[in-house]
Amino acid sequence: MTDAYVIGIGMTRFTKHEADDVELGAQAVAAALADAGIGTGEVDALYAGHVHGGMVAGERVGAETGLAGIPTINVENACASGTTAVIEAVHAVRSGRFDCVVACGFEKVSDRKGMITPAEGDYEGALGLVFPAWHAMRARLYMNEFGLTREQLSLVAVKNRHNGALNPLSHWKEEVSVEDVGASREIASPLRLYDCCPKSDGGAAVVITSKRPDGRAIVIHGTGLASGRADGNYEALFEDVTARAARAAYDEAGIEPDDVDFAEVHDCFTIAEGMRVEGLGLAKQGTYFRQLEEGRWSMDGETPINASGGLLAKGHPLGATGVGQLCEVATQMRGAAGERQLARTKVGVAHTRGGSVPGTEGGSCGVLVCVSE
Amino acid sequence: MAVADDQQLSAVLDEALIAVGDRPALRGWRCASCGRLAFGIKRICPTCGANEGRETRLEGVGALETWTKVFGQSAYVIGYGLVGDGEDDQRVRVFGPVEADGEGDLVPGLPVEIRFRVGTTVWGDERVHHFFAPEAR
C-alpha cells in the first residue's frame, strides 16, 4: 500500500463572507492546486465535505475550478464532514484507486439564525437542545466530578484567542482575558459567549497524492473514524468516540499519544477542548485543565493545542473545519506559520467531532495523524 | 402549555417515544438476549446486536444528571435524567425540558418525575412531549 502525501493546501479566512459556500470552496481548491503546483488534469477525483451545501455541492465547486468531469464524492458527517472527506481521500490514494485527489470542505454558516441545533426530526433538538447546551451540560458534570472552575474554563478561550490573534486567517483577532470571558453574556450555563466558537464561513482544501514529493514530505500516516455508540448509559465524562477514533489513527500510524508533538483539536466550546484532549490520550481524564494552568498546551508548552486559534478563535465553518485543521498542521510542518510557528512539528494530529445522535455519546469523529519526513 | 389529556395525546402523540396505555410513559426496550434497557423501541440491541426484545415503560421518578439554562429569545432549562423501568436498577439517559424557573434548586441526583404536556417544538409543530418535574427539596 502506498503512502498519502499532502502536497498542496489552501484556505480562505474563516469569517463572515459575502461569497456563498461554493465560491468559498472554489477559492480554497484553486489555492491548494496553485500551492501544489499542479494542473487540473492531474487530479483524479474530488472529495467535498459540507453540511448545508445541498445536492452535488462538490460538483458545483468542481465546475468552478476546472475539475468538472472527474469522480466527485460528497461527504456529510456534521462538523467532521471535512475530515471524513480527507480520510476517504487518503484511503482512495493508498489503495491505488486514485493517484492524486483534492479534498475540500466549505460552508456558509453566518447567515443561519440562532444557535446551531441537531438535525430536524431529532427529538432532543425538537425539545430545545442546542449545541452550546449539550456542551454546557457536560461542563457541569465535569465541574462536579473534577472540580473544574470557571476561571480554568476561561483559560482555554484566553489561550486560543491569543493564538488566533497571530493567525491572519483567524475569525477573531482580538485577545481576551479571563475577566472578559467570565463577563461575556450567558449562552447556556455555565458557558458564556467567549466559551463558544463563532459561526464562520469559509473553505479549505488539500491536494493528496501517492507520489512522494522532493524534499520535505507531509504524510498522513494514520486515520481514524468513529461514531458514537448507541448505549444510553454511555460515559458522559469521557470522549470515548474520540478515544476510539484516535486509537485507530495511532495504530495505523504506529505511534502512541506520547509521540504527538502538537494537535489541532475540535474546541467548538472551551469544555470540549479539555475533554477531547483527554480523549485523544494526551492527558489523563480530569487533568487537562490543571495542565492548562501549568502551560502544557500553550504554543511554547510541551504539547501545543490549537496553535491556529482553534475553532474558538480561527472559526468553525462546519464542513471546512477539519480540512482547515489539516492545513494548519501542514503549515506548521512546513515551518510557515510565522508568529505562531511551533518548535517541534514532527508528528501532528487533527481531530474533528461532528453532531449528536440521541442515545449515543455523539455523532462522528475523525482523527488524522500526520508525520513530517 | 397544558397537561396532556387523552384527546390531546391521540392528536399529537410522538409514537416513537411515548406509549399511552392507562397513562403516558416513555417507551423503553429490553433486549431478550443481554437484558440491556434502552430508550425507544429498537430493532437491534445497541449493546449486543440481538434482534429480539420487548417493550417496557420508562416512568415515574428518575434522577437529574445534569442541566443547563439556555439564554435564547426566552430562557429555559433543559437537562438529562437517568430513568428506569422499575424492573431492576438499570437506568438510561433521557433528555428533556426541566420544569424550573431557575437553577437554584437543581442539584445532581435530584429526583425528577417524568410528566407529559402539549408543547410547541422548536420546529413549530405542537406535540405531546415529556418533561422533568423536580421534586421539592
Residues 38-57 of A with CB under 8 A from B: none
Helices (H), chain A: 21-36, 57-64, 81-95, 123-126, 131-146, 150-164, 178-183, 240-253, 270-279, 288-293, 310-313, 321-334
The average pLDDT across A185-194 equals 97
Q: Using a CB–CB cutoff of 8 Å, tell me whether B79 touches chain A.
A: yes
How far apart, in whole angstroms, are the C-alpha atoms of residue A150 and residue A132? 16
Site of grid cell 437543581: B106
| pLDDT value of residue B11 | 54
A251-309 confidence digits (pLDDT tens): 999 999 999 999 999 999 999 999 999 999 999 999 999 999 999 999 999 999 999 99
Mean pLDDT of A148-159: 98
Average pLDDT of chain B to the nearest whole number: 87
Q: What is the DSSP string of A201-256?
A: BEEEEEEEESSPPSSS-EEEEEEEEEE----TT--TTS-HHHHHHHHHHHHHHT--
pLDDT at residue A278 in the model: 98
Query: Are A362 and A351 within 8 A, CB to CB?
Result: no
Q: pLDDT tier at B2 (50, 70, 90 boundaries)?
A: very low
Size of interface A-B (CB pairs under 8 A): 99
Q: Name the residue among A252, A257, A339 with its Cα closest to residue A303.
A: A257
What is the mean pLDDT of the segment spanning B56-84? 94
pLDDT-above-90 percentage for chain A = 90
Residue found under cell 415503560 = B57
Give the whole-number percent of chain B exceeding pLDDT 70.
90
Domains of chain B: 2-21+58-134 (2.40.50)
DSSP category for residue A341: -
Comparing CB atoms, the residue among A187, A229, A232 nearest residue B93 is A232
Q: Do B46 and A231 touch (CB under 8 A)?
A: yes
The predicted structure's pLDDT at residue A234:
75
Q: What is the pLDDT of residues A301-315, one digit of tens each?
A: 999 999 999 999 999
| Residue B8 in grid coordinates | 390531546
- Reduce the DSSP state of residue A80 to 3 states and report it: coil
Whether the predicted pLDDT of A366 surpasses 50: yes
In angstroms, the CA A346 to CA A334 distance is 10
Confidence of residue B6 (pLDDT cuts 50, 70, 90): low
Average pLDDT, chain A: 96
Q: Which helix (H) or strand (E) holds B11?
A: helix B6-12
Residue among A169, A145, A198 at smallest CA distance from A325: A169
Nearest neighbour of A232 by CB, restricted to B16, B38, B129:
B38
User: Among B57, B59, B56, B41, which residue's Cα sits nearest to residue B132?
Assistant: B59
- Is B132 near chain A, with CB under 8 Å? no
Q: What is the pLDDT of residues A52-67, one digit of tens each?
A: 999 999 999 999 999 9
Name all domains of chain A by residue range, CATH numbers in brackets.
5-111+201-218 (3.40.47.10), 123-196+221-372 (3.40.47.10)
Name which of B68, B74, B82, B118 to mutate to probe chain A: the one with the most chain A Cβ atoms within 10 A of its Cβ: B68
pLDDT band at A174 (very low <50, low <70, confident <90, very high): very high
Nearest CA in chain B to A191: B68
For the segment A216-252, what is each residue's pLDDT rounded down to a tens digit?
A: 999 999 999 999 988 767 778 889 999 999 999 999 9
Q: Is A94 exposed, middle or buried (0-12, 13-18, 19+ CB in 10 A)?
A: middle
Question: Is it the case that residue B81 has pLDDT exceeding 70?
Answer: yes
* Residues A317-344: tens digit of each pLDDT: 999 999 999 999 999 999 999 999 999 9
Query: Could you tell me which residues are beta bridge partners of residue A9?
Result: A206
Nearest chain B residue to A192, by CA: B71
A100 beta partners: A209
Coil/strand/helix, residue B105: coil
| Interface contact B54, partner A, CB < 8 A | no
CA distance A219 to A252: 12
Name the residue among B134, B133, B63 with its Cα closest to residue B92. B63
Q: What is the pLDDT of residue B71?
A: 95
Q: What pLDDT band is residue A11 in, cutting at 50, 70 and 90?
A: very high
Residue A140, Cβ density class (10 Å: 0-12 exposed, 13-18 middle, ≥19 buried): buried
pLDDT number for residue A236: 83
Q: How confident is the model at residue A190, as a pLDDT?
A: 97
- Kindly report, residue by residue over B102-132, the tens digit of the pLDDT: 888 899 999 999 999 988 888 788 888 999 9
Give the pLDDT band (50/70/90) at residue B1.
very low
Say how far residue A346 (Cα) sits from the centre of its chain.
Answer: 19
Taking the Cβ of residue B23 and every Cβ of chain A, the question of whether any pair is shorter than 8 Å is answered with no
Cβ count within 10 A of residue B99: 16
Question: Choosing among B18, B58, B66, which should be mutated to test the A contact, i.e. which has the most A CBs within 10 A?
Answer: B66
